[in-house]
Amino acid sequence: MELSLYWMQTPNWETIGPPPLSLFVLEQGRAALELARVGPRRKRLKTAPRGDGHPVLVLPGLLAGDLSTVPLRGFLRALSYDARGWGLGVNMGPTDALRTKLDDLLVRTREKHGQAVSLVGWSLGGIYARELARAHPDLVRCVITLGTPFRDISASHAARLVPIRPGGRLLRNAHDLRAYLRTPVPVPTTSIFSKTDGIVHWQSCLETEGPERENVEVACSHTGMGFHAETLAVVADRLAQPIGKWRYYAKPA
């Protein structure tokens, strides 16, 4: 069967596309309001389960760096996790050199702490987190992604800012890569998504649910996910699960 015909007959051909421009236009204003709401974050900090001190690597999104994840990492450190940034500057997109650096970072973190590492990835950082877990499942405790379009990596307005062209192809034409990225990873995985995300289409963030795989909806912007109170509560709940006792997220009343 010809490759083109094969892709037309399989759900791996799925193309979702970016979210509406109306949501994209509202992104920065919404994020600014979410950042200003300190009260809900403090309330979540008081009620969130405390951690066991295990290491957590937080990976930023496209065109972002560790500065963008400061509120999230500060929240997790206050819960007793050893939450760390990636220390690799601004995320300019995937390269072979970056993959090697991320592999080394994960290995070093695991060796330093003597414990498996939880990975929290925001947007494109979630793609990195999933692929690290796929390559090194024995080193990773769990993966939590925030607005990560692994189901259709081309379903994002961010791809227009920094074109990522695997093998010289547009992302929407890289069907083999897109099919590969949506394949579930072999560790407990939580995908956090928002139906009002203005950067990434929410449907592109949906994991195929199964044992130790889930999708959790929050109500926030894409740019505000890393400091939105509801998102922080989900991340804290997921990280607090004991090894070997994973359960689906139960939203508080």
Count CB atoms within 10 A of the CB of residue 161: 10
Residue 24 has pLDDT above 70, yes or no: yes
Output the average pLDDT for the chain: 88
For the stretch 122-175, pLDDT in tens is 999 999 999 999 999 999 999 999 999 999 888 888 766 666 655 555 556 566
pLDDT in tens, 83-111: 999 999 999 988 889 999 999 999 999 99
pLDDT score of 160? 66
Three-class secondary structure assignment of the chain: CCHHHHHHCCHHHCCCCCCCHHHHHHHHHHHHHHHHCHHHHHHHHHHCCCCCCCEEEEECCCCCCHHHHHHHHHHHHHCCCEEECCCCCCCCCCCHHHHHHHHHHHHHHHHHHCCCEEEEEECHHHHHHHHHHHHCHHHEEEEEEECCCCCCCCCECHHHHCCCCHHHCCHHHCHHHHHHHCCCCCCCEEEEEECCCCCECHHHHCCCCECCEEEEEECCCCCCHHHCHHHHHHHHHHHCCCCCCCCCCCCCC
What was the pLDDT predicted at 4? Answer: 31
pLDDT value at residue 26: 82
Provide mean pLDDT across the span 63-78: 96
User: Could you tell me the domains of the chain?
Assistant: 17-239 (3.40.50.1820)
Interval 183-234: pLDDT, tens:
999 999 999 999 999 999 999 999 988 899 999 999 999 999 999 999 999 9
